Structure 1
């Protein structure tokens, strides 16, 4: 036995007055819109983290989801005669797919070596389910009290857009910092399932047969229970996924707020000389430090800029691991070093972890060092904190599009303003071989602000930098 079809014009029997019933439906629209946007942002964030090139991945995810939402709206036409049952089913399925999407993408990346196919699949599936919501909700709200289609759509879209705003703000300011990506997605699925269940199983319970009500209650209850139980296994799942990606020797794994920092290998940086695993430091899956040969990169980055000319005052942009700072402090004549790093959590790790602090030789404890955390390099340079004899730009690769402004003409204009008359700037510009276009784009951008460049490459380790001086 299933719930009997009913024409949209029939008024629903509600346990509350029609005005309150409409308010509850609009609240459900608000909640579902917030959850839907969280799923979208979650996929975009994971795509950037697991696949890279955030602009391309965000474009792919969003365009696929918008396309799929149109398909979902068309498919929902077949469910309008059983709108209550259809809406509850859609929300239960969306809660499972959306709530579990983060863990599924991590699993695909960790155990199958890539996440692109899974990303496309989840983008399409979530988009179809989100697109199916609005036609069904439109039918339900008209079942409460008939009104012109324009007015009903205005109410629905208003609730939908406000919910999207709340979801967009909740994701970066609440879910990510307090729960993390995996737990945040699972909890969003719980909220999604509850929102759909309350509307159908209580407000529109007379539109659904008793047998169907029990069936929907069992399904929604199972979904909520599954997602809540999933949150209890997030930590063990993350450990297993990290070991699949980084190997068995994961020693530290922390989310610093903006990034995930992972340390692997022996805590003794010199242990690799005795056959042990070298200490390796990863940020968001990208290798930043390797104790077996990392000194070559940092010495090649820092020393060319400090071998001649004045070097009393030095500014380091980025370089949270402290290795560029170690190289700067080792040069004679350096009296003051200012380090500007946006992520204070990584600096804390570099100071407190026994392996990383030994590798950087406790550089942050040197009295000549002045640390500025919390603001990115662009914002700090705008403050005009004086001039420097040498500026070391040890920032993430320019190929990572989220850092594009730190390789822009505007940025280098600010850097040029902060250089003393005989000052030098050295920039990590990516790999000249693998990313030659990015490398030479950085070089030409530096020249465009009036600095004279001397490009150089460390061939063996595929590291590159561009040194510029006025």
Structure 2
């Protein structure tokens, strides 16, 4: 009997840590900043464990109590991911509606956003605390049950240590299986249901082992839970699809319809086909269609963060590629592209016959394959990823540059904005040192980077949503200083930030050749979307910052995390 209790301890601790990891992982994907959400979630989970253990002393009828605890954990665990999806969809939709004109000024919008963010945090982390609190009862209750069966008034130290050890073993097994099996293979939503099923089976074993002591309503609850869990497996994908459509389309369709009629809004949100979700080893890739001002728009997101829109991506990529060529006054010959897995940057580079060597480094093979095989994306990139003249390397850009000895005339860097420390290293002093080392003496690098101009954001639209007027803040100044100080520390003496539309880029070089900032009138068929208004602004933009060592973003001292 003791072996059964030890096994039960291991299984229940496996389920408990899996629930905690599910909450942390889902919150990090939905909200960004992996370190923040994982740290807060595990801290609140441990606090719940402590309080639950503290409250578990002198429990009468431990077997009945444990069955109730496990039923509650099954319920919370099964809805863990679904609840985060649901709460996040409401939060994002509410913010989108607020941007539609119900909030007149930026400060009021920020106040509302802060309040909603706090409420979002409280609700989500309350579920985490509940899991920890209930899990805190498990080990003391199991040990109390084992003591009774072993005819011991209190468990001796040797047996107690064995139960504690098996509790830790279950936690270790849970973290390993979660990271290497559950999330990579069956995804978060199904993982929550699988772990809840394991938890329910353990609960069923308890009921069958002590059926004489089990109330009828517990047995009925167990039956109901089993049926609901079975149905959940069949309808999980349908629920996820509804969530994705609301999360990505609800705000846009609300803004796009002046009537704001609920039935019309819901129909437009659900129409336009599925949101296709692909889970890769590195990220979630979502893409979908939406109507915006009477036009069909194709949008691609990575980890729920915007990547490109078919309506305005050419403006972005033309500014990315052609403005550095205009400023430096020369077309590159040997070019390296880091990131840009959608192939849209490569499309623009292919317009230069001067390029004799074009190397593309992309981390995610599934992103690369999708951009080659998907009809819409391959049409947008004009088959660039299938070009045999482009050398594609699947691998980590940081390690590629660290080991590379080749010199390039130009390096184009297109990474997601840094929302966690893994991506922040790609904006670090160490990374830019590798970039400088791999450039020819008059070569340059350019990358998409989160900078802010002094004038703030005044446009009426930005990435499908209404953008309220904002002012330049201290955090904007700090971010600018981090970016500029980091590339300066890496040895780049010439740093040229520029804004195209709503996107900011940074051109860095140590060239001795004269640069040209007056781009007025330099129109070309190569970049038809860049007009004189965009080109003339290049030498009239102001990005306030200071160059100081305290602002250097390093692998060992990460500062740049959105």
Q: Could you state the TM-score of these two structures normalised by the residue count of structure 1? A: 0.86
Could you say if the C-alpha distance between residues 112 and 398 of structure 1 is closer, same or farther in structure 2, counting changes exceeding 3 Å? closer
Matched residue SS, 1:77: coil
Match of 1:377 among 384, 392, 397: 397
How do residues 230-379 of structure 1 correspond to structure 2 at under 5 angstroms? 230-247=232-249, 248=269, 249-257=272-280, 258-265=282-289, 275-307=294-326, 308=328, 309=330, 311-373=332-394, 375-379=395-399
Could you say if the C-alpha distance between residues 183 and 55 of structure 1 is closer, same or farther in structure 2, counting changes exceeding 3 Å? same
How do residues 34-433 of structure 1 correspond to structure 2 at under 5 angstroms? 34-77=14-57, 80-113=59-92, 115-145=120-150, 146=152, 149-198=156-205, 200-203=206-209, 205=210, 209-210=212-213, 212=214, 214-247=216-249, 248=269, 249-257=272-280, 258-265=282-289, 275-307=294-326, 308=328, 309=330, 311-373=332-394, 375-384=395-404, 386-432=406-452
Q: What residue is the counterpart of 1:8 in the other structure?
A: none
Could you say if the C-alpha distance between residues 431 and 399 of structure 1 is closer, same or farther in structure 2, counting changes exceeding 3 Å? farther
- 1:72/1:127 contact within 8 Å kept: yes
**1:226-284 Cα shifts (integer Å, max 9, x gaps):** 22211111111111111112223355512231222222227xxxx98x94222221112
Aligned-pair CA distance for 1:81: 2.1
Measured in 2, the distance between the counterparts of 1:333 and 1:38 equals 54
Could you say if the C-alpha distance between residues 250 and 242 of structure 1 is closer, same or farther in structure 2, counting changes exceeding 3 Å? farther
Measured in 2, the distance between the counterparts of 1:166 and 1:385 equals 42
Could you say if the C-alpha distance between residues 119 and 431 of structure 1 is closer, same or farther in structure 2, counting changes exceeding 3 Å? farther
- 2:244/2:275 contact within 8 Å kept: no
**1:414-442 Cα shifts (integer Å, max 9, x gaps):** 22222233321112111425873334312
Could you say if the C-alpha distance between residues 151 and 412 of structure 1 is closer, same or farther in structure 2, counting changes exceeding 3 Å? farther
Measured in 2, the distance between the counterparts of 1:153 and 1:323 equals 61
Measured in 2, the distance between the counterparts of 1:85 and 1:458 equals 65
Matched residue SS, 2:332: coil
RMSD between aligned residues: 2.3
- 1:250/1:264 contact within 8 Å kept: yes
- 2:277/2:287 contact within 8 Å kept: no
Match of 2:487 among 446, 454, 464: 446
Measured in 2, the distance between the counterparts of 1:221 and 1:348 equals 45
Q: Could you state the TM-score of these two structures normalised by the residue count of structure 2? A: 0.73
Q: What residue is the counterpart of 2:507 in the other structure?
A: 467
Measured in 1, the distance between the counterparts of 2:22 and 2:401 equals 32
Could you say if the C-alpha distance between residues 195 and 73 of structure 1 is closer, same or farther in structure 2, counting changes exceeding 3 Å? same
Matched residue SS, 1:334: coil
Aligned residues: 437
Q: What residue is the counterpart of 2:459 in the other structure?
A: none
Could you say if the C-alpha distance between residues 161 and 381 of structure 1 is closer, same or farther in structure 2, counting changes exceeding 3 Å? farther
